[in-house]
Amino acid sequence: MAERKPISSWLTDMDGVLIHEGTPIPGADAFIKRLRDSGLPFLVLTNNSIYTARDLHARLKRMGLDVPVANIWTSALATAQFLDDQRPGGTAYVIGEAGLTTALHDIGYVLTDHDPDYVVLGETRTYSFEALTKAIRLINAGARFICTNPDETGPSAEGPLPATGSVAALITKATGKDPYFAGKPNPLMMRTGLNAIGAHSETSAMIGDRMDTDVLAGLEAGMQTFLVLTGLTSVADIDRYPYGPSHVVESIADLVDLIDLPDQVDQGKQADQADQADSR
């Protein structure tokens, strides 16, 4: 196997990696601080489309994790980017919260239930039967079906909640139309995120707690992958999949020292130059 290039940009999932049920995972604050001190490009990713990046920045800051708005990438933003590329200035009937509607407004989309180009399904705290019925009828009338992410369940303090993927299955059953999922594990979310920070997959790493979304998305986008064991996937689960992560670690705390600070990068370059000079 060819040796990988040094990691010069980092992408990390949020839930199960940095936080768990509203509480920071030990080491998350040190990891984010080290990233910010390094000056390296990075993104915190989430398939949850409920919140805007500004909302998430505020929520994380209250937990002691200071992640700039520009370093947060959601499935709602990835969906909006996809639609802007496919059909700029289009129209959509949206089932979702402010994270999704704001992202679509920001790219100039008109939200309507009158002959829309797309039906866009995202996460919401309350799925309305009336809204789902409207979505089904619009898709049957010719609207294209887009979904922010395929997650079938989401976490809560009381236990799993039905999520976007489960509701999408209901609409598919009623229409016979499968949605296009913009979020993880679609490598589209990773590639649009990398483009947003000017990074390249061959020198980037993806950190996640799920094999079926985080690791798969990173793998298909051509990145190194780190699986942490503070979320949904255990060591026993790994062999159930036909692919594996590049590395398995206990938690985000184990990755802090892998982030090179500017003085370490300079020292590394000087050492390389010295080695080259010696070899002449």
- Orientation of helix 75-86 relative to helix 98-106, angle to 10°: 30
CA distance 168 to 151: 10
Q: How many CA atoms lie within 13 A of 57 on its CB side?
A: 11
Q: Give the torsion through C-alpha atoms of 8, 12, 17, 20, to 10 deg.
A: 140
CA distance 17 to 38: 20
Q: Tokens 């997959």, residue?
A: 201
Beta bridge partners of 118: 92, 144
Structure tokens at 118: 């797309």
Are 145 and 122 in contact by the 8 Å Cβ rule? The answer is no
Q: How many CA atoms lie within 13 A of 195 on its CB side?
A: 11
DSSP letters of 31-83? Answer: HHHHHHHHT--EEEEES--SS-HHHHHHHHHHTT----GGGEEEHHHHHHHHH
209 is catalytic: no
CA distance 226 to 27: 15
> Which position among 13, 117, 214, 260 bears the catalytic label?
13
13 is catalytic: yes
> Which position among 15, 29, 209, 214 bears the catalytic label?
15
Q: How many contiguous H segments (helices) and E segments (strands) does the chain have?
A: 10, 15
Are 226 and 245 in contact by the 8 Å Cβ rule? The answer is yes
Show which residues are catalytic. 13, 15
